[in-house]
Amino acid sequence: MLLSKWKKMVDHHDQAQGHDIVNNKICENQCISFTDSTCNESNACGIIEMTFPDHETTRNYAHHFRGCDASVLIATKPGSKTLAEKDADDNKDLRTEGFDTIMRAKTLVESKCPGVVSCADILAIAARDFVHLAGGPYYQVKKGRWDGKISMASRVTYNLPRANSTVDRLIELFSSKGLTVQDLVVLSGAHTIGFAHCKHFVGRLYDYKGTKQPDPSIDPRLLKALKMSCPQVGGNADIVAPFDVTTPFLFDHAYYANLEAKLGLLASDQGLFLDPKTKPLVQALGQDKAKFFQAFAEAMDKMGLIGVKRGRRHGEKRIDCSMHM
């Protein structure tokens, strides 16, 4: 469904603009469109309106609370002993498509507006556009971020929320970044789209917390289906399952109703309904899509300001998003 929508947008862009979008191949599954390409100081990030149909971008942007400086895009220098964030063990299953999309967009932006738009802004805009394209809210993205000068794999582990993190741990992690319990519940709603690899939830299916039993908070039909995709041993490491079994490709508020129906995929998702601190919020958002959309837009804006770099002292405007200047 989304694929045909993307194609329509690309076709429309091509007809309207009469030029190629980076290369014709990307029209198969991606599209980028520009409606404004003013390069001036007052409109420093003047190339707006890009569209990237890519969960990975949203995830890259959001999972790394330091991601607002695009440090996640940096690859390790050949021969260097210090691994960059992109090569951290925990980032191994970030698919390359997400990075490629940003790189292609950057190349296109540079060709029209050299040295103006940071990779960090591109990432933030791309995340917003994917959410919107999948049916979610459209919100303004503040621009003017600079890219971070430091990218170290060793910083990733501590900052990353985990599939088996307790709600208390997630609250602690979010609060260390200035985000509230409400932000945690609202931003987790991004799991209304996208997929997770078996390793993130297989522990719930067979031997939950050493009980040799499945997690009792999984609906039996979902449990059966997940067990078929993800055997306890010897499964294919590339298999993924949708976060939202009811509307996997739609950005809606079904995620929350799913949690009430024991259909959460990760322990960290289901935990939000089980914990009395977060349950009322899950229930409220599950009943009100408009409330979720508005809260999501506000929380993304807030998250987009975490660790923002400004100016040459702490930042740079990379030409190639994968390499420091």
Centroid of chain to Cα 57: 5
**Strand runs (DSSP E) across 96-146, as ranges?**
none
Give the nearer residue to ligand HEM in terms of CB position, either 60 or 118. Answer: 60
Tell me which residue of 105, 131, 91 sits closest to 45, measured CA to CA: 105
190 binds ligand HEM (CB under 6 A): yes
Question: Which residue is closest to ligand HEM by CB?
Answer: 194
For the chain, how are helix, strand and coil distributed in percent, rounded to 5? 50, 5, 45
Catalytic residue among 12, 63, 197, 314: 63
CA distance 299 to 180: 9
Binding-site member from 30, 51, 58, 258 for ligand HEM (CB under 6 A): 58
Please tell me whether residue 283 binds ligand HEM under the rule CB under 6 A.
no
Q: Which of 50, 62, 120, 222 binds ligand HEM (CB under 6 A)?
A: 62
Q: Any contact of residue 169 with ligand HEM (CB under 6 A)?
A: no
Q: How far apart are CA 106 and CA 130, in angstroms?
A: 16
Annotated catalytic, 12? Answer: no
- Least distance (Å) between residue 286 CB and ligand HEM: 17
Q: Can you tell me whether residue 314 is helix, strand or coil?
A: helix
Residue closer to ligand HEM by CB (options 14, 97) is: 97
Alpha carbon 226 to its chain centroid, in Å, reads 23
Least separation, in Å, of the C-beta of 319 and ligand HEM?
Answer: 27
Q: Nearest-5° angle of CA 88, CA 92, CA 96?
A: 115
53 makes contact with ligand HEM (CB under 6 A): no
Site membership for ligand HEM, residue 163 (CB under 6 A): yes
Q: What are the tokens at 262?
A: 């024991």
- Interface with ligand HEM includes 309 (CB under 6 A)? no
Q: How far apart are CA 256 and CA 142, in angstroms?
A: 28
161 binds ligand HEM (CB under 6 A): yes
Is residue 193 a contact point for ligand HEM (CB under 6 A)?
yes
State the Cα–Cα distance between residues 179 and 194, nearest whole angstrom.
23
Residue window 85-104: x/- pattern of binding to ligand HEM, with contact defined by CB under 6 A: --------x-----------
Instruction: Using the rule CB under 6 A, give the single segment among 32-40, 158-166, 256-264, 274-282 that binds ligand HEM.
Output: 158-166
The answer to whether 281 contacts ligand HEM (rule: CB under 6 A) is no
CB of 162 to ligand HEM, least distance (A): 5
**Long-range CB contacts (< 8 A, 24+ apart) of 83-89?**
83/152, 83/153, 83/154, 84/151, 84/152, 84/153, 85/151, 85/152, 85/153, 85/155, 85/156, 86/151, 86/322, 87/153, 88/153, 88/154, 88/156, 88/157, 89/153, 89/157
Which of 139, 156, 136 lies closest to 55 in space, CA to CA? 136
Cross-strand pairs, 148: 315
177 touches ligand HEM by CB under 6 A: no
- Residue 19 Cβ, how far from ligand HEM at the closest point, in Å? 30
Catalytic positions, please? Answer: 63
Residues that bind ligand HEM (CB under 6 A): 55-56, 58-59, 62-63, 93, 161-163, 165, 170, 184, 187-188, 190-191, 193-197, 200, 266, 268
Annotated binding site for Ca(2+): 67, 69, 71, 85, 192, 244, 247, 252
